[in-house]
Amino acid sequence: MLLRNKVAVITGSSRGIGAATAVKLAEHGSNIVINYNNDIDGAKETAEKIRKLGQKTLIVQADVSDPDQAKKLIKKSVSEFNKIDILINNAGITKDGLLLRMKEKDFNAVIDINLKGTFNCTKNVIRYMMKQNGGKIVNLSSVVGLMGNPGQANYAASKAGIIGFSKSIAKEVSKRGININVVAPGYIQTDMTEELAQKVKDKMLENIPLNRFGQPEDVANVILFLVSPLANYVNGQVINIDGGMLM
């Protein structure tokens, strides 16, 4: 039980990587705050799995791109559990399109959820972690943020921004016992990636040395390590979870 009696807030945890991470941390003793924006059914399903593991859970609807709603998410979590030990900034969207066809609103929407949402939640949770003199934050980037990808200029910009943001904040707050790290998944089989055309998937598979796509649990396992005592001396790092696609 690596996380006995810990409290973890996981944004976008109604499905995919967020839901798998919520269950994985609960398996190791953490109580979980599930955040969702639209998928209440998925949030309830995740919560039920956590309760069956014997852990407490709280569901909070919030659009993390909105500063007031992000603040509400953190305040409700602290009100329920009296602390937050772990924050996983996982909420994210895609609105792909070639640059010359990309609408400004689609660029802004991806930046707002992926990057600004990470900023909003981190800023609000840091004050509590500083008072506790400790905490673990893991931010979800992507290999696309490291290498770029045609048709994903907005997504790549948001995920690259998360890396720079995370390293900067780690240098600001690490002396208060707060570890901040980044995971950069490759192709992980989720609802988001299933929307890609089959020819795109086939092309991606050719570039993965392990010759398989990742599962949400592959990412959740690395996040578990980073928020556990096993990673107390890991800080400001970006860990790729991509089967070797980006070496």
Could you list the beta-strand ranges (E) of the chain: 7-10, 31-36, 57-61, 86-89, 135-140, 178-185, 238-241
**155 catalytic residue (yes or no):** yes
242 secondary structure, DSSP code: S
Going by C-alpha positions, the residue among 82, 69, 84 that lies closest to residue 126 is: 84
Instruction: Give the separation between CA 199 and CA 191, rounded to whole angstroms.
Output: 17
Q: SS3 for 179?
A: strand
Q: Is 28 exposed, middle or buried (0-12, 13-18, 19+ CB in 10 A)?
A: middle
Q: Is 53 exposed, middle or buried (0-12, 13-18, 19+ CB in 10 A)?
A: middle
On whether the CB atoms of residues 244 and 187 are closer than 8 A, the answer is no
Q: How far apart are the first and last CA of the chain?
A: 33
The residues with which 179 forms a beta bridge, in sequence order, are 136
Which member of 36, 128, 155, 187 is catalytic? Answer: 155
Please count the helices (runs of H) and the strands (runs of E) in the chain. Answer: 10, 7
Amino acid at 138: V
Active centre residues (catalytic): 155
